[in-house]
């Protein structure tokens, strides 16, 4: 066996039977702050020399608000703009990862991003349909997997309840969170990232969610999440703890050794105090150390102390070994993940959801229709039964066509709102590998075009056309309609040079 083959073999052996292990070394992540719209402000380093190893089990990233927990989670999950990564690398199972990691792992975002008009079961089925390959999973298989997840997550009672929108009260916060986790568990990912899974939940629900994650890790999964300040029953389920302060690591190691580590640094926990609260007090500088070196500016020197500790040195040595093996030959072994389903299959599923969403949330369509009828009657009354004699015929028609076109253009600006409302859902689902970008936009166009654009335009045109007294022939009317569907022909929008043509069509 050559040296190179041996090294590759070593790396594989290192990670065998351990499940996915995430290693990251020397991460420096910076963002460019923006000033006054486009002027670039100073660069801000939000992660400074962050290194660590996260093995199968519960890996918690703890810290005060703004300490860089989410940034660290996003960088290791491949969800941050790679341009900001000034230094360092992230490896999964000893292989260099690219942003394709997002397709093979799962990420539960902090704000539950779910389609509110669909029920818990329908949301889970949507995820199953798009993320499980139809080649390997039949419809019945997907349904039974959804049923199993509903049962595992304790969602049986609300399985057929809608998630809820601003108009419709749906499931509770805890049930939403469990549904969000279920959406990601559908693919049985071996690596699961969660951004603050307990924020906004009562302590009991939070405990249930962490226990659920704990059970997953007992099946060999690697769970990595950020968390603010957990209660003790949650804290004691952590296997590994990374404590962050101002973008630096102040402790990374076994969660049950953290107390001993800080006690050795001269910090004393009060009787009956929650260790998680105590660690926050230490990092925030509210707890005082008896060590002289830490009393002056304890928060900054905590990161230095950690870097000098034996704990950090052994992590760095291990990372050196892994990184060296990568340099020697394990490069390029990371297979690019692909979408589980074909383009046409994605179009079918996403279109189906969009249509269902429009049918269950018809307010926008009703509003569009009412507005069109109102303006059609208004234009019809202003230009009621136009005369056929010149010059009035030409003047009235040019005025009427101007009104019609303005109404069409501004009436259809509401289409932009569709994308704004669902922006968060699209970004999350697209980056999690549910579907291609083009699929979302095409399905929106297909599903939105008929109920919200074409039908209202025909109703608008019919009312205004016949009230204005234009050519009553049906063929003339049909020729008039597409002229007013924005983006269809643009002939009327071209303006007066074509006006004679319009008058000819409408009056024969």
Binding-site ranges for ligand ATP (CB under 6 A): 31, 33, 44, 46, 63, 65-71, 226
Between 182 and 247, whose beta carbon lies closer to ligand ATP?
Answer: 247
Between 228 and 348, whose beta carbon lies closer to ligand ATP?
Answer: 228
Token readout for 14 is 């290192």
Between 33 and 202, whose beta carbon lies closer to ligand ATP?
Answer: 33
Token readout for 80 is 């941050």
Cα separation, 270 vs 234, in Å, equals 19
Q: What's the min distance (Å) between Cβ of 111 and ligand ATP?
A: 11
Helix axes 455-468, 363-382, angle to 10 degrees: 10
CA distances, 54 to each of 9, 20, 61 (Å)? 21, 9, 10
Cα separation, 267 vs 260, in Å, equals 10
Between 71 and 190, whose beta carbon lies closer to ligand ATP?
Answer: 71
Cα separation, 465 vs 380, in Å, equals 7
Neighbour-count burial for 202-223, b at 16+ CB within 10 Å, e otherwise: eeebbbbbbebbbebbeeebbb
The rounded Cα 151 to chain-centroid distance in angstroms is: 25
Between 109 and 158, whose beta carbon lies closer to ligand ATP?
Answer: 109
Q: What's the min distance (Å) between Cβ of 149 and ligand ATP?
A: 27
Between 71 and 198, whose beta carbon lies closer to ligand ATP?
Answer: 71
Q: What's the min distance (Å) between Cβ of 87 and ligand ATP?
A: 17
In the three-class reduction of DSSP (H, G, I as helix; E, B as strand; rest coil), residue 66 is classed as coil
Q: What's the min distance (Å) between Cβ of 77 and ligand ATP?
A: 12
As beta bridge partners, residue 226 has 61, 195
Q: What's the min distance (Å) between Cβ of 282 and ligand ATP?
A: 16
CA angle 217, 176, 344 (to 5 degrees): 85
Between 71 and 341, whose beta carbon lies closer to ligand ATP?
Answer: 71
Q: What's the min distance (Å) between Cβ of 404 and ligand ATP?
A: 45
Q: What's the min distance (Å) between Cβ of 338 and ligand ATP?
A: 29
Q: What's the min distance (Å) between Cβ of 233 and ligand ATP?
A: 21
Token readout for 384 is 């009621």
Between 31 and 337, whose beta carbon lies closer to ligand ATP?
Answer: 31
Between 70 and 341, whose beta carbon lies closer to ligand ATP?
Answer: 70
Q: What is the DSSP letter of 449?
A: I
Token readout for 351 is 């279109």
As beta bridge partners, residue 28 has 87
Q: What's the min distance (Å) between Cβ of 192 and ligand ATP?
A: 18
3-state secondary structure 383-422: CCCCCCCCCHHHHHHHHHHHHHHHHHHHHCCHHHHHHHHC
Residues sharing a CB contact under 8 Å with residue 141, sequence separation 6 or more, in sequence order: 132
Residue pair 482/489 in contact (Cβ under 8 Å)? The answer is yes
């Amino acid at each position: 066996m050559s040296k190179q083959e041996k090294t590759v073999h070593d790396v594989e052996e290192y990670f065998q039977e351990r499940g996915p292990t995430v290693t990251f070394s020397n991460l420096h992540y910076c963002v460019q702050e923006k000033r006054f719209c486009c002027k670039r402000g100073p660069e801000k380093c939000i992660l400074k020399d962050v290194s660590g190893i996260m093995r199968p089990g519960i890996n918690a990233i703890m810290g005060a608000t703004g300490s860089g927990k989410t940034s660290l989670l996003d960088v290791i999950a491949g969800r941050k703009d790679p341009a900001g990564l000034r230094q360092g690398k992230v490896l999964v199972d000893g292989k260099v990862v690219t942003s394709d990691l997002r397709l093979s792992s799962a990420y539960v975002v902090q704000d539950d991003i779910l389609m509110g008009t669909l029920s818990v079961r329908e949301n889970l089925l949507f995820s199953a349909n798009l993320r499980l390959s139809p080649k390997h999973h039949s419809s019945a298989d997907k349904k039974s997997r959804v049923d199993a997840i509903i049962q595992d997550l304790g969602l049986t009672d609300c399985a057929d309840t809608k998630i809820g929108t601003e108009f419709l009260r749906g499931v509770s916060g805890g049930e939403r969170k469990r549904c969000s986790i279920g959406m990601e568990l559908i693919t049985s990912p071996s690596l699961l990232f969660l951004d603050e899974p307990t924020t906004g939940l009562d302590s009991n629900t939070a405990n249930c969610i962490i226990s659920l994650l704990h059970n997953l890790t007992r099946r060999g999964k690697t769970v990595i999440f950020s968390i603010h300040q957990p209660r003790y029953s949650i804290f004691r389920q952590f296997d590994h703890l990374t404590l962050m302060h101002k973008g630096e690591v102040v402790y990374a190691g076994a969660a049950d050794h953290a107390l001993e580590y800080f006690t050795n640094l001269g910090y004393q926990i009060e009787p009956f105090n929650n260790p998680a609260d105590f660690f926050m007090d230490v990092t925030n500088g509210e707890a005082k150390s008896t060590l002289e070196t830490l009393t002056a500016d304890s928060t900054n020197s905590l990161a230095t102390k950690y870097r000098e500790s034996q704990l950090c040195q052994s992590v760095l040595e291990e990372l050196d070994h892994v990184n060296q093996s990568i340099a020697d030959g394990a490069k390029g072994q990371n297979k690019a993940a692909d979408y589980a389903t074909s383009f046409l299959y994605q179009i079918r599923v996403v279109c189906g959801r969009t249509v269902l969403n429009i049918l269950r949330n018809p307010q926008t369509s009703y509003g569009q229709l009412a507005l069109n009828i109102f303006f059609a009657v208004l234009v019809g009354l202003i230009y009621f039964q136009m005369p056929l004699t010149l010059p009035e015929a030409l003047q009235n028609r040019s005025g009427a066509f101007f009104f019609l076109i303005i109404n069409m253009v501004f009436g259809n600006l509401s289409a932009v709102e569709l994308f704004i409302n669902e922006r968060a859902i699209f970004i999350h689902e697209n980056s999690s590998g549910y579907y291609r970008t083009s699929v979302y936009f095409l399905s929106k166009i297909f599903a939105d075009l008929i109920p919200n654009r074409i039908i209202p335009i025909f109703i608008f045109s019919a009312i205004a056309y016949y009230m204005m007294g234009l050519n009553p022939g049906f063929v003339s009317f049909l020729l008039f309609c597409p002229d007013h569907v924005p983006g269809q022909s643009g002939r009327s929008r071209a303006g007066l040079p074509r006006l004679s043509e319009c008058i000819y069509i409408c009056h024969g």
